[in-house]
Amino acid sequence: MRRQCADGCAVSDRPLPDLALARSLFDALAEKTCCPSGYSRPSYGDGEQIAHDLVRQAAAVLGLESATDAAGNLCMTLRGRDGSAPPIVVGSHLDSVPHGGNYDGAAGVIAGLAAAAGLCRAGIAPSRDVMIMAIRAEESTWFPSSYIGSRAALGLLPAETLDTVVRSDTGRTLAEHMAVAGFDPEAVRRGRKHFSPAALGAFIEVHIEQGPVLEQSGTPLGIVTGIRGGLRYRAARCLGAYGHSGAEPRRLRRDAVFAMSHLVVELDALWREMEAAGADVTITVGQFTTDPEMHAFSKVPGEVRFSLDVRSQSVATMDEVHRRFLRMCELTAEERGVRFELGPLIRSTPALMDDTLRARMVRIAHDLGIPALGMASGAGHDAAVFANSGVPTAMLFIRNANGSHNPDEAMTMEDFATATTVLIELLASA
């Protein structure tokens, strides 16, 4: 059976995403939000608003209904056959890091619009409403608080965040930026929600992969198993004693750099051991510095400042790494004559993707002959907020050669089409 689209052309029963629309939106974003080195779309700033205006205009041409909540999140709705059924939300963010790439976040919103356009062209009304959501302020580079837009949409953003969190480039509070942009920070403060988690059928996020796994495996599509939680010490210190580099023998030294180097080697060995045992985990010492006011070429270093970032889909795995790390600190302190001040421990909860949705996407990819890899997300995403609020959640990763948060993001339109084809099949059969 074949249908007629609005312009009279014949189309097959299998809907295809509107790639011409997607290309035009990516090109417009690139043109309007480029900066001397990359692309910048500050949260609650001009670049993010330009992106929201572009996708809203595209949604209007498609006949979608648009609504903005108190925090400025934009929902563009394709009506389904049963308006009483819990809707499916397809969403991601439109802000970027400073001098970032053109696809991080934006690919997910544009994938939703391309899928909605494909359904319209095929004459297919989904069984339930499909809401394409452009989420505000996902990138914590601008405001040091995670998932501002998605938490606000679900009524989960703490009221104090509005007044205590300031934007990195302006020094103005989140509440001020919301108000200037024309939104309602007081409603956000009262916990007004746009969505009740129990009223949603699913949340689906398409995103470029932010690492090299798909590129190195030669696979165009990732089907995410979960978003790793985190265990972090952001401001830890190893304290030894300063001394003269030529006058202090090894046995008398309390060298903080050698002590920390020993600890880092031990952490790497632990990571290798756990990885070999099949554990999902990453361990990173992202900061490792001596005090620039105290260190010198001829000094035994008496202090190292460092950070620790442990991520896993398993709370038990993170707890095991933490236990072993604390024991390493004890043994290193005894052996090297140093002490550790670790500072506050910060934790975030892993977010597991819905097994039923994942199985459906695996089946769709298989039926379409699309190679797909099951994989964890090491980076955080708005999907984590929905998943941890009880909404059935799924994510698709698009292969990306050069990582993200840089101007060289390298998603191809062929790989974008692959992910969006799986998405549109999922929406058509929901």
- 21 and 169 in a single domain? The answer is yes
Q: Which residue ranges of the chain lie beneath pLDDT 50?
A: 1-12
Is the pTM higher than 0.75? The answer reads yes
Tell which of 348, 383, 404 closes a domain: 348
For the stretch 121-138, pLDDT in tens is 999 999 999 999 999 999
So what's the pLDDT on residue 14?
Answer: 82
- Is residue 262 located within the same domain as residue 200? no
Assess whether 234 and 320 both reside in one domain.
yes
Whether residue 288 sits in one domain with residue 364: no
Verify that 186 and 63 share a domain, yes or no: yes
Same domain flag for 206 and 223? yes
Both 248 and 337 in one domain: the answer is yes
Instruction: Please give the Cα distance from 169 to 146 (Å, whole number).
Output: 17
Q: Is 215 left (phi over 0), alpha (psi -120 to 50) or beta?
A: alpha
User: Would strands 303-312 and 229-239 be described as parallel, antiparallel, or unpaired?
Assistant: antiparallel
Residue 325, CB half-sphere, CA atoms under 13 Å: how many? 25
How far is residue 214 from each of residues 40, 54, 226, 283, 361, measured CA to CA in Å? 26, 30, 16, 20, 17
Task: Point out the domain boundary residue: 332, 348, 364.
Answer: 348
Out of 331, 348, 365, a domain closes at 348
Query: How far, in Å, CA of 56 to CA of 305, rounded?
Result: 46
Q: Which CATH number characterizes residue 210's domain?
A: 3.40.630.10
CATH of the domain at 274: 3.30.70.360
Show the domain range for 88. 2-228+350-428
Q: 380 and 320 in one domain?
A: no
Same-domain pairing of 220 and 262: no
Task: Indicate if 149 and 166 belong to the same structural domain.
Answer: yes
Domain count, the chain: 2
The rounded Cα 346 to chain-centroid distance in angstroms is 18
Residue 430: per-residue pLDDT: 81
CA distance 315 to 347: 10
Are 233 and 186 in the same domain? no
pLDDT at 6: 37
Structure-block tokens of residue 142: 């601008």
Query: Do 308 and 405 have their domain in common?
Result: no
In this predicted structure, what is the pLDDT of residue 7? 37
